[in-house]
Amino acid sequence: MAYVRKIINDPVYGFITVDDPLIFEIISHPYYQRLRRIHQMAFASLVYPGAVHTRLHHSLGAYHLMGLALHELRNKGVDISKEEEQGAKIAILLHDIGHGPYSHALERKLIKGVHHEDISVLILQLLNEQFSGRLQTAIDIFSGTHPKQFLHQLVSGQLDVDRMDYLNRDSFFTGVVEGAIGYDRILKMLVVHEGELMIEEKAIYSVEKFLVARRLMYWQVYLHKTVVAAEKMLVKIIDRANELIRNGIPMDSASRNLDFFLKEHQPDDNFIRHLEKFTQLDDTDVMCTIKNWCGHYDPILSRLCKGLVERKLLKIKFQAEPFSPLMVATIKSDVAQRLRISEEEAAYFVFTGEAVNTTYNIFDEHIKVFFKDLVVMDISQVDNALIHQQLSSPVKKYYLCYLR
């Protein structure tokens, strides 16, 4: 194949270069192009109007960081073959290929009985067939079966390029500059020791900042109360639609594909048969449908839909303690009366839940620091570290959504 070299402008990193014909073909594939129509941050743009960037953009960014990381590691003498480089780049490029419209919450409602990451693997396998097996190394790296663990850790680990890119990119597009991380410094400080990805001692403060930035992004952006309210409304809309469908109420989605997943798809289906339909589903199907439902005669559905479309969201409160069931019941009954609906139906407008985030989970996360004297230590064990026991326990906040 002829020499291909494409330079893509990226406001976050300047330029992203694609110079591998296979990777170029993958990017051009409709399955990948679909990611253009899935927002990286779902409804976060209701609070941060700049946050309209896409999953395609994020995965291109992560691919770029992968290139930088591999370059640094090779410069430090880590053995990485051409094929492994290609595999790792493809693996990160496609890490979100199985992502459905909007957030994971919606995914679970639409695609019953199949886990998000399983869909990614299924699509990777489908692509691998179409590309005559040339994606096998990528699949091995993605699923962790490739012998070089550090390649998998770069795709999915505590210091993977996925979260490095999304923190950077989400910080950039939201304008929450405090979420920015010193990704280039961290990348330069990566080392491989006994096959595992670690960071040099000198990067401790950068990693601390990375974890604190992530903490800030969670509480200030991802779990921003307005964002949570909008996402919960979307879930409630799909719940209501499912209920109406079960009750035989006529209601059409804007697209045939969305209709299929709402009406025909069953949890015990062999999902592989529907993969093609899934790869045509994106945010526009969902949003256009919700816009249509604004005029639906079911008052619960149309009220929720109009609320989301016109940004008249449910009110939401966060607090450290669970909300009293009695208070919730009172509000629910009040809403039931005002809207002349049953208390059961009022649960579409009044409900509670939890938002949880851990700054550093000492059980799951293992950011290993590699000291000059060959000692390896978990970052939470380092002297005077910011990251310690206390930050390691999850912070749970309780929320109450209700109709104003």
Residues numbered 317-336 forming contacts with a copy of itself, rule: CB under 8 A: 320
DSSP 50: T
CB 88 within 8 A of CB 151: yes
- Which residues sit opposite 319 in a β-bridge? 398
Among 23, 38, 48, 346, binds a copy of itself (CB under 8 A): 48
Distance CA 288, CA 296 (A): 13
Nearer to a copy of itself, 141 or 176 (CB): 176
* 50 phi, psi to nearest 5 deg: -80, -15
Nearer to a copy of itself, 143 or 163 (CB): 163
Instruction: Count residues binding a copy of itself (CB under 8 A).
Output: 78
Among 1, 30, 250, 267, binds a copy of itself (CB under 8 A): 30
Instruction: Fill in the per-residue mask, 336 to 365: x = in contact with a copy of itself (CB under 8 A), - = not in contact.
Output: -----------------------x------
Among 84, 96, 107, 285, binds a copy of itself (CB under 8 A): 285
What number of residues does the chain have?
A: 404
DSSP 260: I
CB 365 within 8 A of CB 158: yes
Which are the contacts of 264, defined by CB distance < 8 A and separation ≥ 6?
none
> Does residue 215 bind a copy of itself (CB under 8 A)?
yes
- Within 45-200, strands assigned E span 190-193, 196-200
Rg of the chain over CA atoms, in angstroms? 23
Question: What Å distances lie between residue 10 and 7, 201, 326, CA to CA?
Answer: 9, 31, 51
Distance between the two ends of the chain, CA-based, in angstroms? Answer: 61
- Site residues for a copy of itself, 157-186, by CB under 8 A, read 172-178, 180-182, 184-185
Find the part of the chain contacting a copy of itself (CB under 8 A) among 55-63, 128-136, 144-152, 340-348. 55-63
> Does residue 284 bind a copy of itself (CB under 8 A)?
yes
Find the part of the chain contacting a copy of itself (CB under 8 A) among 101-109, 133-141, 233-241, 254-262. 254-262
- Site residues for a copy of itself, 102-161, by CB under 8 A, read none
Nearer to a copy of itself, 334 or 397 (CB): 397
Among 36, 115, 193, 317, binds a copy of itself (CB under 8 A): 36
Find the part of the chain contacting a copy of itself (CB under 8 A) among 30-38, 149-157, 239-247, 363-371. 30-38
Nearer to a copy of itself, 155 or 181 (CB): 181
Question: What Å distances lie between residue 210 and 37, 180, 185, 217, CA to CA?
Answer: 29, 8, 11, 10
DSSP 19: -
- Site residues for a copy of itself, 365-384, by CB under 8 A, read 383-384
